[in-house]
Structure 1
Amino acid sequence: MVRMSAEERRESVIRAAMSEFARGGYYGTSTEAIAKRVGVSQPYLFRLFPGKKAIFLAAAERCLQDARRVFMEASEGLHGEEALHAMANAYTQLIAEQPEKLQMQLQTYVAVAAAEAAGDLEFGEMVRKCWMELFDAVHVPLGGDVGETTTFMAYGMLVNALVGMGFPPEHRIWEGFYISARAKTGQGEA
């Protein structure tokens, strides 16, 4: 049997934490559940991370970094409309194939709101930093157009909310996306 290094074990904790926090949120997830999923003891878990908050922050940061990486890879070498469509398609694929990434993202926003209401600004600072990196990853391929970037991010958050609420792809709520896409490509009704 091959032993994992501390860094490999830390990585497995982050992946497990993303799954557990995606399901239960910050307050509804125990470190015991994360340790069990990884196959380590809680004391070992706390040798890798100083506490539950540090585990959550690492998982939230990874979640947002993964989304940023998806945008960057999808838009590589592309600009404008081509980049926009490539990033939108890549993100749609990400949340369809790995729904826990979207669930973790939504849990992150809830945790920030709850923490800041209680006076803890650390969650928000990290998430805002990652959000700006995400914004910039979209902004550059869209030619530095603030309006296009804002619209893309706004549509993305709407997609997050609708998927998070469980609207199936065939529901009429999605019609506006299809109409908007047809209008942008000139395939609207005559």
Structure 2
Amino acid sequence: MASKSMRMSAEERRESVIRAAVVEFAERGYNGTSTQAIASRVGVSQPYLFRLFPSKRALFEAAVLRCIGEIKQRFLEAAEGKRGQEALDAMGDAYFGLVTDRSHLLLQLQMYVSTAAAENAGDAEVGETVRELWTDLWDSVAAASGCEPHEVTDFFAHGMLINVLVAMGFPVEHRLWAGFERPC
């Protein structure tokens, strides 16, 4: 039996729920994931889950925020002290560490599909949140690199190609993008 000091705080439990939500939403998407599956993965009841997160949408948004937040953090850390192509190259290299985490990669892909599905079902707020986070990420890359909008767009387009190919099973070091040079 665990002692009282071994119990998780609400914040620790919240973190474990977000980690579980990332995995569940990555595997099943927004519509295909039940809050019961997330609660079961963490070992809590659904009522407790809803004390931590008021709705399934809030939980999805927390998982998406975590995913995009990690990308942004890695990009900004990698670009620190660099400008232009050097900054983009450093951010691209840092990104490879994230796409090797299958749940992180699949959650990114699920964000797009889940946003469309939620909006088709009448829940526009999911899409608004995802678009705001992506706009902030794009703006952060532009500011950190100092590159022109078309160059930042090329950077993200290349990243999306990598996402799709890695999700299809191509290795991160595959020749399809190994020699790609981005202008800046």
Out of 43, 54, 59, the position equivalent to 1:50 is 54
Q: Which residue of 1 aligns with 2:178?
A: 178
String of CA shifts for 1:84-106, please: whole Å, max 9, x gaps. Answer: 1110010012111x221111111
Out of 153, 165, 169, the position equivalent to 2:168 is 165
Which whole-Å CA distance do the structure 2 matches of 1:58 and 1:11 have between them? 10
Out of 120, 123, 139, the position equivalent to 2:123 is 120
Q: Which residue of 2 aligns with 1:22?
A: 26
Which whole-Å CA distance do the structure 1 matches of 2:16 and 2:172 have between them? 32
RMSD: 1.8
SS of residue matched to 1:141: helix
Q: How far does residue 163 in structure 1 lie from its aligned partner after superposition?
A: 1.6
- Which residue identity is paired with 1:31? T
String of CA shifts for 1:166-190, please: whole Å, max 9, x gaps. Answer: 234576xx43x23333x96xxxxxx
Out of 74, 79, 87, the position equivalent to 1:75 is 79
After TM superposition, the runs of 4+ consecutive aligned structure 1 residues lying more than 3 A away are 168-171
Q: How far does residue 22 in structure 1 lie from its aligned partner after superposition?
A: 0.8
- Greater relative contact order (Cα < 8 A, sep 6+): 2
Q: TM-score, normalised by structure 2?
A: 0.89
Which whole-Å CA distance do the structure 1 matches of 2:64 and 2:14 have between them? 14
Which whole-Å CA distance do the structure 2 matches of 1:56 and 1:153 have between them? 23
Q: Which residue of 2 aligns with 1:7?
A: 11
- Which residue identity is paired with 2:140? A
Identity %: 56
Q: Which residue of 1 aligns with 2:65?
A: 61
Q: Which residue of 2 aligns with 1:151?
A: 154
User: Runs of 5+ in structure 2 lacking a partner?
Assistant: none
Change (3 A) 1:141 1:170: closer
Verify the 8 A CA contact 1:22 1:103 in the aligned structure 2.
yes
User: Runs of 5+ in structure 1 lacking a partner?
Assistant: 185-190
Q: Which residue of 2 aligns with 1:187?
A: none
Which whole-Å CA distance do the structure 2 matches of 1:180 and 1:154 have between them? 12
